[in-house]
Chain A
Amino acid sequence: MNRVPHHPILGDEPPAKEVQIFVDGRPVAAREGEMIAAALIANGIFKFRYTPHAHKPRGVYCAIGRCTDCVMTVDGVPNIRTCITQVRDGMRVDTQHGMGAWQKGDGHDPN
């Protein structure tokens, strides 16, 4: 586990509700309100996607939503920046291959 429960300046990690996300189908414990990328790193997952042509792994680079290196397919929607998207109980987070694909049946209705 890569969490920092006790920190000399930040103090003890405040209690948070545990939520469950599914990473490539596997249940992973996360803290309510945290970013997807943080939950993955906390659980030892550092490879988030593979590039379209050379199939090389990529992970977090900027961590503030600027570079898009950390994108994954979330709840069927590809290219979601995991560093600035909060987890939700039951969320499906999938390793993205290349540009990803929209999954049928997960109507993403902006209205």
Chain B
Amino acid sequence: MSGSLKKTGAPSLEELAASPAFPSEEQFKRGPVAVIECVEEIPCNPCESSCPRGVIRVGEPITNLPVIDLDGCVACGACVAACPGLAIYIKDYTYGPDTASISFPYEYLPLPKAGDVVEVVDRYGGTVCKGTVLKVRSPKAYDRTAVVTVEYPKEFFYEAISMKRLAC
């Protein structure tokens, strides 16, 4: 295997588009979608059983890449916290007239709070824009993986992946 993932550490959009779960542009623009950035066959399937609606499928062997039935996905976020690789997030292109939203896993302190303005970063950790935190969920069932939702300008829709860690 070669390419961006094994050189830079982050998958390229080409590598992602080649995986079965990556939504098409049309699917992205329809409404909130769960995105699983899982492109390597490793034995792993907690995403499958985490979905309360059963729309994520790994099957056997458990090295299969996950597939999501995006029509059935209601973007509840359970899979975002359950993935051991922290490889799942939810994006909503349609959140606002000029803004999109992303809900991503976050395991650092301090946790942001709703209303905070944060730096939205791309897969290389570079800041792409500022965003506003809409909510932070960290129920016991998520076992310490908080899910942070941030609203950000639509024009940065594809690059945004997470937020820059806050200074302590």
Closest to B168 in A: A6
Total contacts A to B, CB within 8 angstroms?
10
A-side binding surface: helix, strand, loop or mixed? strand
**In the complex, A6→B111 CA distance in Å?**
12
**In the complex, A24→B99 CA distance in Å?**
61
Inter-chain contacts of A8 with B (CB < 8 A): 107-109, 111, 144
Interface range on chain A: under 10, 10 to 19, 20 to 34, or 35 or more?
Answer: under 10
B-side binding surface: helix, strand, loop or mixed? loop
Report which B residues bind A (CB closer than 8 A): 107-109, 111, 144
Inter-chain contacts of B109 with A (CB < 8 A): 6-8
**In the complex, A7→B107 CA distance in Å?**
9
Inter-chain contacts of A6 with B (CB < 8 A): 109
Distance between A8 CB and nearest chain B CB, rounded to angstroms: 5
Closest to A7 in B: B109
Distance between A93 CB and nearest chain B CB, rounded to angstroms: 30
Distance between A11 CB and nearest chain B CB, rounded to angstroms: 8
Inter-chain contacts of B144 with A (CB < 8 A): 8-9, 11
1/0 per position for A22-35, CB-CB distance to B under 8 A?
Answer: 00000000000000
**In the complex, A6→B144 CA distance in Å?**
13
